[in-house]
Amino acid sequence: MPVVAMSKTVVRLFERDVRFKISLPVLIALVVFAVLSTFSPYDPRASYYVPINRPPSWSHPFGTNGRGQDLFWIMTFALKNSLIFGLGVAALSRLIAMMVGIIAGYKGGAIDQALILFCDSLIVLPIFPILIFLKLLAKEMSFPMLAIVLAFFGWPWDARLIRSQVLGLRERKFTVTALFSGRSTLGLVFQEYLPHVLPIVFATTINNMLWSLGLEVTLSVLGLTPLDVPTMGTITYWAIQQQALVMGAWWWILFPVLFVILLFTSLYLLFVSMTDFISPQARVVTQ
Amino acid sequence: MGSFIKSFIKYFVGRFVVCLLVIFVGVTITFLIPRLIPGSNPAEIAVRRIQMVGAYLPPESVEKMKDALLKLYGLEGSMIQQYFSYWRGLLKGDLGPSFASFPTPVTSLISKSLPWTAGLLALTATISWCVGTLLGGIASYRGKGLWVRIFEIVSNAVRPIPYYILALVLLVIFAYVLRYFPTGGAFQIGLTPSMSWAFFKSVLKHGFLPALSLIIVGVGAWFINMRNLVSNVIHEDFVVFAKQMRLKESILLRSYVMKAAMPAQLTGLALQLGTVFSGTIITEIVFSYPGLGTLAFTAIMQNDYNLVMGITLYSIVAIAFATLLVDLLLPLVDPRIQYTGGAA
């Protein structure tokens, strides 16, 4: 039973690894916070429905911002949108990475070389200037569009990882046994290889989310994303744009920054602890 | 010896040709891209700006105005004519006027911002490289002392946080809450750049926070890099052998382990020094530092493509020459690499 095995793994990690023990509850709390957005009494795009720039109080736990929004509720939306964005990029780029990695590793030869060349040329491209430039091309780039663009740039590292895994699997005895027993290629790939590849896919999901969310925050703060959609980046943008620091509205900066730090640190800790668990040799992870 | 010089010259010429080729391709691409973006005609943008203020212009005078502006900007004629005149200007050291702050030449805008970025980048890159490399080498070899562990935890805690947020936190704490440092700029408003102590002090004070944020991130990155490299090196035969020989530990660390990891680290440093254009763009925006990054960002936002091209050109040249320098210097650091082959 995979569910039982998984929960057993979680319990074991929880008991043994401090990093896991810290990061998992924090992440769960953040997800719960994001889910709270469904109960919001306010529309995330509305503004000036509460008095502006009020410090935290009982009726507004995180205070209100200079655009007349309740910071608590707007942040539930921001966190939700950011998480969905990160997961979207991760899912899409994992799909590409798996396809490319498995095909390159299994087929080998010229196809492998061509795919790896493509991978490598994507890896060396400087993503940040390209994104600024793309923004210039498409005057309005929505978040789904941005997610697709990031997914296109986010897969090569992991495709290489998956490829090297598949290269190893192809040489193993069970491949030959399966093929001689009349297993189809697709069946072999999906039923025999996938279980070996999936752990890498899961671990890299988190790493990919860290990467895409980091870019989202940076781009938003520079004002390069649709600023009327609340995300962790855009709410920080508005706080800086409207001089929250000069006005002394510390809560307006503090809560977004605190949540970004919590989110990134807990994701990272979870990632490191999971990679250690999956492959103890790869202690030091590079991206 | 003669053959050495011969092979060196052959190597140098080969690398130099590649370097020039890279610059040529880069210039051509930066020439083409802004011209292919729809709606980025600088004359149209300038006219639109006038119309936005509310002035009514009859259509024929709009056309006339556009033509006059294009002539002023040096953008008349076909794409190929423009391309050649661009190269002609380039070889004379003239990059044309900036469109957004016409008629200031691009070169004077760049030369005003370049020193700030170059100084910031060179200083922080060197400091963080030295500290990170040394600590990384010592840490991975000596194993887990208390300080090493503390440093490791801190650098791992900083790693996942987006650089922008880190810089913002520093800015808020030190400039707004504690008020130790100014909130932006490169020197006190009202001071004129001179060689005086007051000006120097002001520059130091304004540059401290941007530098600190870059150093924090940089040291952590170099530390992790070096640790990865060294943890591979210490399992190599020559290190194991030297250990068996009971070589003094300091010598082993310096001339065996660290030395073997040095070429990769040096390459990284040189390449980082080449990123004058994009290396500190976010730092400059957070701390409103008047460097090349801020200049590039506003140029892109204002569609000032002469300026974008000028900055890109500088950065292409910087990166091309940084790689050339690395290629030439590496054989001196690492005897395993030799001056052989041409443009490989």
Cα–Cα dist A167/A159, whole Å:
12
Instruction: Locate A96 and state its tokens.
Output: 């590409």
DSSP states of chain A = -HHHHHHHHHHHHHHH-HHHHHHHHHHHHHHHHHHGGGG-SS-TT--SSS-SSPPP-SSSTT-B-TTS-BHHHHHHHHHHHHHHHHHHHHHHHHHHHHHHHHHHHHH-HHHHHHHHHHHHHHHHS-HHHHHHHHHHHSSS--HHHHHHHHHHHHSHHHHHHHHHHHHHHHTSHHHHHHHHTT--HHHIIIIIIHHHHHHHHHHHHHHHHHHHHHHHHHHHHTT-S-TTS--HHHHHHHHHHTTHHHHT-HHHHHHHHHHHHHHHHHHHHHHHHHHHHH-TT--S---
Asked if B172 is an interface residue toward chain A (Cβ–Cβ < 8 A), one would say yes
Token duo for residue B60: 């024929």
Residue to substitute from A19, A26, A137, A206, interface B, most B β-carbons within 10 A: A137
Q: Which residues pair with A64 in a beta bridge?
A: A70
Q: Evaluate the omega torsion of the peptide bond into residue B103 and state whether it is cis, within 30 degrees of 0.
A: yes
How many CA atoms within 13 Å lie on the side-chain side of A220? 30
Nearest by CB to residue B300, choosing from A136, A210, A217, is A136
**In whole angstroms, what is the distance from residue B207 CA to residue B31 CA?**
34
Residues of B in contact with A210 (CB under 8 A): 160
Contact B164 A210 (CB under 8 A): no
Say which DSSP state B255 is in. Answer: I
Q: Which pLDDT does position B30 carry in this prediction?
A: 77
B318 at interface of A, judged by CB pairs closer than 8 A? no
Residue that is written with structure tokens 């691009």 in the block: B106
Here the tokens at position B161 are 């946080």
Which chain B residue has its CA at the smallest distance from A210's CA? B160
Residue pointed to by tokens 């942040």: A75
Cα within 13 Å of Cα(A135), Cβ side: 23
Burial (CB count <10 Å: 0-12, 13-18, 19+), residue A253: buried
- Amino acid A34: pLDDT: 93
pLDDT at A286: 38
The shortest CB-CB distance from B300 to any of A132, A214, A221 is to: A132
Amino acid at A138: A
Instruction: Considering only residues A253 and B60, tell me which one the structure prediction assigns the higher pLDDT.
Output: A253
Distance from CA of B165 to the nearest CA of A (A): 7
pTM of the model: 0.80
B105 phi and psi angles, rounded to 5 deg? -65, 145
Say yes or no for a CB contact (<8 Å) between A257 and B165. Answer: yes
Note which residues in 46-105 of chain B have CB less than 8 A from chain A.
Answer: none
- Residue B211 has a pLDDT of 92
Question: Which residues in A118-150 are b (16+ Cβ under 10 Å) and which e?
Answer: ebeebeeeeeebebbeebbeeeebebeebbebb
Return the number of other C-beta atoms located less than 10 Å from residue A160's C-beta.
Answer: 20
- Nearest-Cα distance to chain A for B300, in Å, is 8
Smallest Cα distance from A101 to chain B, Å: 25
Calculate how close chain B gets to A270, using CA atoms only, in Å. 11
Mean pLDDT, residues A27-37: 93
ipTM of this complex prediction, to 2 decimal places? 0.81
Tell me the sheet residues that pair with B97: B105
Closest residue, chain B, to A261 (C-alpha): B161
Residue B156 Cα, gap to closest chain A Cα (Å): 9
Tokens describing residue B14: 């080969």
Q: Give whichever of A111-115, A199-203, B302-306, B337-341 has the largest mean pLDDT.
A: A111-115
Query: What are the beta bridge partners of residue B105?
Result: B97
Contact state of A264 with B228 under an 8 Å Cβ cutoff: no
Condensed to tens digits (0 to 9), the pLDDT of residues A222-265 reads 888 888 889 999 999 998 888 887 787 888 888 999 999 999 99
Determine the residue type at A186. Answer: L
- DSSP annotation of B97 reads B
DSSP per-residue string spanning A106-127:
HH-HHHHHHHHHHHHHHHHS-H
Say what the pLDDT of residue B342 is: 41
Measure A284 CA to nearest chain B CA, in Å: 7
Residue A15 C-alpha from the chain's centroid: 26
Distance CA(A203)–CA(A199), nearest Å, equals 6
Higher pLDDT, B240 or B276: B240
pLDDT tier at A284, thresholds 50, 70, 90? very low
Whether B40 and A260 lie within 8 Å, measured CB to CB: no
Tell me whether B278 touches chain A (CB under 8 Å): yes
Interface touch A268/B278, C-beta < 8 Å: no
